[in-house]
Amino acid sequence: MNSTGGKDIRKKVRKVLSSMGLKQQPFYPERHYSAEKLKEIDALYRLAGKSIGAKKKFSDAVARTEIEAVSDSLATRVEDLAFFLSKKPRKGQKVLDIASGSTITPMVAERLTKAEYHAVDLSREMLKQSEKLGSSRVSKAQGLAEKLPYKSGVFNEVWMENPDRLEGESIREAHRVLKPGGVFKIVIHIDKPIDKIAFGKAFNSVGFSVEIQQLGAFTTIKASKK
């Protein structure tokens, strides 16, 4: 993506997030949390439409969480979507967002493209949270990344945003549900270098050709089904 195109898509993503009531950022940059805890806090505060208010209230609310990974929720979501939409899915194409949580990512994407979006997550409660963000055409299903509830060869793209784990079975399942030539896009937020050789072998072994890029704590993986 060129810089002009990147700025343009980021601007559009921010506008859509704002229209969904996600303009304010309740996370403080000096505090870092795991992806799972970020999801929980998203559900409790942002999607419930509540304001964190005083910093102490926020700190007390998350004091019990395990501090694991570097992430700033709204800013990283914009960057994640800019990557996912660097080549916009077209009308008639199908996109699956795995471990979608409250389905914010596909809900934003469907407002910016004409593709058909599907979301799968293990937690039924997280999927229900999307109802608080307004109407959506995103099709939702409960299921595991390691055993996706879809037929083979259905999707043009599969997305994963900051997964807690990225293992062989979930990679194989993504490959299974993709059409030939389909693309598996993953964003990982991690504050240390990843083993590109090991990742490459994991994707190559199931029939993907893979591109891995890492810039600081932001890693993108684009795996194309051969």
Q: What is the domain-level CATH number for residue 170? A: 3.40.50.150
Average pLDDT for runs of 10 along the chain of length 226: 65 85 48 52 49 42 35 71 94 97 91 96 87 83 95 98 88 98 93 84 96 88 96
Statement to judge: residues 98 and 50 lie in one domain: no
> Do 21 and 45 meet the contact criterion of CB atoms below 8 Å apart?
no
Statement to judge: residues 52 and 88 lie in one domain: no
Q: How far apart are CA 100 and CA 103, in angstroms?
A: 5
- Among 214, 144, 165, 182, smallest CA distance to 206 is for 182
Residue 58: predicted pLDDT: 43
Statement to judge: residues 206 and 113 lie in one domain: yes
Tell me how long the chain is. Answer: 226
Statement to judge: residues 19 and 107 lie in one domain: no
Statement to judge: residues 192 and 121 lie in one domain: yes
In the numeric block, which tokens belong to residue 142? 């409960």
Residue 42: predicted pLDDT: 56
Torsion sign, CA atoms 118, 102, 40, 33: positive
> Domain range holding 221?
82-225
Statement to judge: residues 194 and 95 lie in one domain: yes
Listed residues 53, 73, 93: the one ending a domain: 73
Statement to judge: residues 66 and 91 lie in one domain: no
Statement to judge: residues 111 and 26 lie in one domain: no
Listed residues 73, 90, 108: the one ending a domain: 73
Report the domain count for the chain.
2
Statement to judge: residues 64 and 97 lie in one domain: no
Q: How far apart are CA 43 and CA 212, in angstroms?
A: 31
| Residue 132 DSSP symbol | G
Statement to judge: residues 155 and 201 lie in one domain: yes
Listed residues 73, 101, 129: the one ending a domain: 73
Statement to judge: residues 40 and 133 lie in one domain: no
Residue 192: predicted pLDDT: 75
Q: Which helix (H) or strand (E) holds 199?
A: helix 196-204
Which residues make Cβ contacts (< 8 Å) with residue 26, sequence separation at least 6? Answer: 41, 45, 46, 51, 52, 58, 73
Statement to judge: residues 13 and 47 lie in one domain: yes
